[in-house]
Amino acid sequence: MTEPIIELRNVTKRFVGVTAVANLSLALRPGEVFCLLGENGAGKSTLIKLLTGVEAPSEGEILVDGRTVHFRSPRAAREYGIATVYQEVGTLPLMSVARNFVLGAEPTTGRGLFRRFDKEKAATLALQTLRELGISRVADGDQLVGTLSGGERQALAIGRAVHFGARLLVLDEPTAALGVRESATVLRLIEKVRTRGVAVLFITHNAYHAYAAGDRFMVLRRGEMLASFDKGEKSIGEVIELMAGGAELQSLLTAGEAGVVGT
Ligand SMILES: Nc1ncnc2c1ncn2[C@@H]1O[C@H](COP(=O)(O)OP(=O)(O)OP(=O)(O)O)[C@@H](O)[C@H]1O
Ligand SMILES: [Mg+2]
């Protein structure tokens, strides 16, 4: 098996009064889509924050390429090739596609006083990357990010991260606000990125999306690992059951009914 890019070993994160992540271990390898599932408050976002340097673990170890690291900031994590794409942030609506793509790494043309932003180069780079990721409807580098569809915007953010060297792409609910077609775009994008050897950590509430894109799955509940399995080990029905809390939900529903009948 290939070496993991990043690994968590027995990691716990406590906040005042709550253990958000309890003794979790996981390893993310190149070209692998790892789905993190679990209900609200399960600890998914906290886990991401640990992986991306936003929070430090209370206990346990984080390793990159087999070496222990202590991220001091999100920037430190980014320097290790860990990129996060959130639903809306990361792209600015009133900025052009080209400008947004190269944000922080703008190409320039000319020398000295004549040095200026190379708009053509930025546009070529942005549109070429989008096309490689299967987004061909965006044809103008001057188009404003705010006028892109949700899926195209995700593609722009993902393309940018990959182009600038992401080795692990963390996607927190990338399909949550998208319709069926747009979600399909994002799922195809995940597949494309994976074939380039990037590891993807995919967080979603949607079992179908998880099942379509994922190789490995972990279900969290109250910070603890409830289940961990590979694709093919469980049916989609079983995944839905696990995510919904299955039997637990059923008993809550029937308890509600009993209450109504009793009054
Ligand atoms: N900064 C914080 N301070 C205190 N408690 C926190 C903090 N961040 C998260 N928590 C708590 O940790 C638990 C896990 O939260 P987390 O945001 O990781 O859940 P989640 O799985 O991402 O949920 P959702 O699906 O709703 O996004 C929750 O009980 C939450 O209230
Ligand atoms: Mg969350």
Q: What is the pLDDT of residue 22?
A: 96
Query: How many Å apart are CA 8 and CA 63, to the nearest integer?
Result: 6
Q: What is the pTM of this model?
A: 0.85
| Residue 44 binned pLDDT confidence (cut-offs 50, 70, 90) | very high
Query: How many Å apart are CA 215 and CA 25, to the nearest integer?
Result: 17
Q: Which two tokens stand for residue 129?
A: 């990357």
* Beta carbon of 42 within 6 Å of any ligand 1 atom: yes
Q: Which protein residue has the closest C-alpha to ligand 1 atom 29? A: 41
Residue-wise pLDDT for 56-81, tens only, equals 999 999 999 999 999 988 889 989 99
Among the bound ligands, the one closest to the CA of 40: 1
Q: Which protein residue has the closest C-alpha to ligand 1 atom 8? A: 46
Query: Degrees (nearest 5) of the Cα angle 64, 68, 72?
Result: 85
- The answer on pLDDT for 247 being more than 80 is no
Q: What is the pLDDT of residue 249?
A: 55
Q: What is the mean pLDDT of residues 26-48?
A: 93
Distance 244 CA to ligand 1 centre (A): 18
Q: What is the mean pLDDT of residues 82-95?
A: 75
| Residue 199: other Cβ atoms inside 10 A | 25
* Beta carbon of 219 within 6 Å of any ligand 1 atom: no
Q: What is the pLDDT of residue 173?
A: 86
Residue-wise pLDDT for 214-236, tens only, equals 999 999 989 999 889 999 898 88
Q: What is the pLDDT of residue 261?
A: 46
Query: Degrees (nearest 5) of the Cα angle 27, 30, 34?
Result: 50
The full 3-state SS of 196-217, as one line of letters, equals CCCEEEEECCCHHHHHHHCCEE
Distance 248 CA to ligand 2 centre (A): 21
| Residue 204 binned pLDDT confidence (cut-offs 50, 70, 90) | confident
Q: Which two tokens stand for residue 41?
A: 């408050």
Q: Mind listing the domains of the chain with CATH numbers?
A: 6-92+167-262 (3.40.50.300)
* Mean of all residue pLDDT scores within the chain: 87
Among the bound ligands, the one closest to the CA of 206: 1
Q: Could you identify the atom of ligand 1 that is nearest to the CA of residue 49?
A: 18
Residues counted in the chain:
263
* Beta carbon of 218 within 6 Å of any ligand 1 atom: no
At position 24, the amino acid (one-letter code) is L
* Beta carbon of 36 within 6 Å of any ligand 1 atom: no
Query: Are 11 and 57 within 8 A, CB to CB?
Result: yes
- The answer on pLDDT for 88 being more than 70 is no
